Amino acid sequence: MKLSYFHVADDVPSDLIAETAVVIDVLRATTTIACALNNGAEAVQTFSDLGKLKKDSSNWPASSKLLLGERGGKKIEGFDLGNSPIDVVPELVKGKRLFMSTTNGTRALERVKNSKALYTMALINRRAVAEKLIIENFSDVLILGSGWEGSYSLEDSLAAGSLASFLIEHGPDPVHIINDELNSALALWSYWKDNLLGCLHKSTHGQRLTAIGNHDEDFACCSELDKINVVPTQSDLGVIRSF
């Protein structure tokens, strides 16, 4: 299995269509997606463009949809929820389609939406996604971080390193690390793996969230490792379901 990691969507070569892609946005989109699907959401449909989200969601009855979104870490005005994994509780999301747009994560998903297989991952469902990759025995896996407005993020690289570490230890032999971005992510994982919460607080995005309000519960949820077994999988373009 060949593994590569790109920090943000713009780092992925424009002509590259991945065989298999795993998108990571620990703080907080892919953590929220995993928790929503784990709590019974019918699907999460992601959008980088708010206008398209509003147009597509207008075709769904109000009783079977929720609008999720944030810009700059804050809930979008008029939306039902922001981008917090602790808000997507079963009594709200079960059986509903979640229409989601975020500052970073949904942009990364847009970049690799044409991959032959596409998954989302956070620390909370790392093992489940890794085991899926092992079972499917993909030959080439592109891991994509979401960053912050086009720049590097510590926490996404931490999660990329956690995935690569698991695959090296438990996956097919051999696992080839293709680029230095992933070698760096592995080193980051080795350094922070016993203090995931500390890493999230240390990150600039973690500090940004702290500055705009109390997000202690979000940090606690986003720093949990291998907590849930959901594997968020793109079933149709932009539509993510649990399989």
What tokens were used for 178? 């293709």
- What angle do the packed helices 154-170 and 126-136 form, to 10 degrees? 50
Give dist(CA 197, CA 202) in Å, integer.
9
- Residue 218 and residue 85 in contact, taking contact as beta carbons nearer than 8 Å: yes
Per-residue CA distances from 208 to 38, 44, 105, 201 (Å) = 27, 25, 16, 9
Phi, psi torsion values for 113, nearest 5 degrees: -65, -20
Burial of 72 (0-12, 13-18, 19+ CB in 10 A): exposed
Mean pLDDT by 10 residues, the chain (243 residues): 97 94 97 98 97 97 96 94 97 98 94 97 98 96 95 97 98 93 98 98 95 94 98 98 92
- Looking at residue 70, what is its pLDDT? 95
What tokens were used for 222? 């986003």
Domains of the chain: 2-234 (3.90.1560.10)
Give dist(CA 122, CA 3) in Å, integer.
17
- Looking at residue 172, what is its pLDDT? 83
- Looking at residue 149, what is its pLDDT? 87
- Looking at residue 176, what is its pLDDT? 97
Q: Report the predicted TM-score, pTM, of the whole model to 2 decimal places.
A: 0.97
Report the b/e string of 224-241 with b at 16+ CB within 10 A: beebbebbbbbeeebebb
What tokens were used for 237? 């373009």
- Looking at residue 79, what is its pLDDT? 98
